[in-house]
Amino acid sequence: MREADVRAVGVDRPRSSRVAARLPRDVPARRPWAPLLWALFSAGGTIAALLYPVHLLFTSFAFPLGWLPLPGHDALLGLARHPISRVYLLILIAVPLFHWAHRFRYTLYDGLQLKHLAQPIAALCYGAAVVGTVLAAYTIWRL
């Protein structure tokens, strides 16, 4: 790879000192996105596994079957308007969206063998997660 090509696109962090010694000194190293995306994937899976079943228990069984008294509209709206509840709701919605995006991305790569479309698939999957997060934040803010 020519020196001008390396400067134009940037490079990932070299894995060995021999590779680092061959790179021009003025080339900025890019930080990989993979650790952040894997962290969002694991956090989203944890939230989906631990918190969604509790919400389903309350909304699908406890309240409709009369195990717990049904809270009124004003009580639920007051709870949803509390700042801590808003952060909780945003995390409950947004982080599993990134879990979905990561899982769907690798399903398309490995399951359907679409590795040649790596960049568009990643952009669409994570872009959808970002759009969903922005819509959730806007909706929660408007409560």
Looking at the structure, tell me whether residues 24 and 37 fall in a common domain.
no
Give pLDDT, residue 140. 94
Give pLDDT, residue 80. 92
Q: CA-to-CA distance for 139 and 143, rounded, in angstroms? A: 7
User: What domain range is 85 assigned to?
Assistant: 33-141
Exposed / middle / buried, residue 119 (Cβ in 10 Å: 0-12, 13-18, 19+): exposed
Looking at the structure, tell me whether residues 86 and 118 fall in a common domain.
yes
Tens digits of pLDDT across the chain (143 residues) = 444 444 444 445 455 556 556 656 665 666 677 888 888 889 999 999 999 999 899 989 999 999 999 899 999 999 999 999 999 999 999 999 999 999 999 899 888 888 888 889 989 999 999 999 999 999 999 98
Question: What value, to the nearest 5°, has the Cα angle with vertex 122 and ends 119 and 125?
Answer: 145
Please report, for the domain that includes residue 43, its CATH number. 1.20.1300.10
Looking at the structure, tell me whether residues 46 and 19 fall in a common domain.
no
Q: CA-to-CA distance for 138 and 125, rounded, in angstroms? A: 20
Looking at the structure, tell me whether residues 18 and 80 fall in a common domain.
no
Give pLDDT, residue 77. 92
Q: CA-to-CA distance for 109 and 80, rounded, in angstroms? A: 38
Write the DSSP symbol of residue 27: P
Give the orientation angle of helix 118-141 with respect to helix 83-106, to 10 degrees.
Answer: 160
Looking at the structure, tell me whether residues 115 and 56 fall in a common domain.
yes
